Amino acid sequence: MGADDRRLLRETRLLARRHEGKRCFILGAGSSIKRQDLRKLRGEFVLSVSNTFVHQDYAYFRPRYHLVPPISASHGQMYPHERFVDWLRDMEPGTADAEIFFHIGDRAWIERERLFVGRTIHWVDYCPWAGKPIAALDPANLPEIWSVSELALCAAVYMGFEKIYLLGIDHDWFNGLLNYFYDPLTQHKVRPNMEALAFADAEFRMRSHAEIFCKYKILQSIHGSIFNANADPRHYLDVFPRADYDSLFESSGGDAAASAIVP
């Protein structure tokens, strides 16, 4: 890693406690958000991830941040590199002026392709993690991830949001690997397919989800105010207290947020 990379990672640390006392919504790409009115998010702090920018109302509620998983390190062997370039070219206008989180390992080719020129980019890096407690979050040394939802949660906690609500973080692998709110074959430039994902059998998915949920539990122990506002009542993500999404917008102030918690 060069000096410029280390400097950029240090700059990301300036995000610490940036939004202390505020609430935010983390928007995943799960199919459950098809049953929620996302236009209610206008004026809220929203952290969107991956391909969520294809949502029909994305431009209306304009997320403040957009987070992308490691591309080359985690997905580079699965699809031709040109597809990822095309995807980011779609993402660039699709995310408007959202501040972007990228893995520092993707920096060289993102800059070579002149992607996101003039945009605010927050670079992060990862380290091996074996399920141990996390003493403190450091964007230059985050515990490695299986899902971009882990990065989004780490970022939200690091930036000091008081309450964090999850939307579309479905983790419903038992319903299919490509179960999103959008059509992955026509609305995702990478065009993910089952052939490339053949390695991800049930055992692989159970092991990865066990590690993801372990990370969630640790983040919840660090922060304590992360809520699952998923629309699917059969949702099996039981790490976080459930919250009723619509109730969060019935009035302003803490009373509405408190009454939205589902026992």
Q: What is the pLDDT of residues 143-191, one digit of tens each?
A: 999 999 999 999 999 999 999 999 999 988 777 778 899 999 899 988 8
**Domain around 146:** 3-262
16 CB contacts (<8 Å, ≥6 apart)? 158, 159, 160
Backbone angles phi, psi at 26, to 5 degrees: -100, 120
**Percentage of the chain modeled with pLDDT above 70:** 92
Band (pLDDT 50/70/90 cuts) for residue 251 is: low
Residue 60 has pLDDT above 70, yes or no: yes
Q: What confidence score (pLDDT) does residue 178 get?
A: 80
Torsion angle in degrees (nearest 10) through CA of 152, 153, 155, 160: 140
Band (pLDDT 50/70/90 cuts) for residue 255 is: very low
Band (pLDDT 50/70/90 cuts) for residue 257 is: low
CA distances to 87, 150, 168, 172 from 182, in Å: 15, 21, 12, 15
Q: What confidence score (pLDDT) does residue 197 get?
A: 67
Whether 19 contacts 45, CB under 8 Å: yes
Secondary structure class of 49 (helix, strand, coil): strand
For residues 234-254, one letter each, b for 16 or more C-beta atoms within 10 angstroms of the residue's C-beta and e for the rest, the string is ebebebbebbebebbeeeeee
Q: What confidence score (pLDDT) does residue 254 get?
A: 46
In angstroms, rounded to a whole number, what is the distance separating the alpha carbons of residues 109 and 72? 9
CA angle 103, 189, 156 (to 5 degrees): 35
CATH code for the domain in which residue 83 is found? 3.90.1480
Q: What confidence score (pLDDT) does residue 62 get?
A: 97
Band (pLDDT 50/70/90 cuts) for residue 204 is: confident
As a whole number, mean pLDDT of residues 36-64 equals: 98
Q: What confidence score (pLDDT) does residue 260 get?
A: 59
In angstroms, rounded to a whole number, what is the distance separating the alpha carbons of residues 47 and 156? 8
Residue 223 has pLDDT above 90, yes or no: yes
Q: What is the pLDDT of residues 107-141, one digit of tens each?
A: 999 999 999 999 999 999 999 998 888 989 999 99
Count of structural domains, the chain: 1
CA distances to 149, 172, 173, 174, 230 from 235, in Å: 16, 8, 11, 11, 7
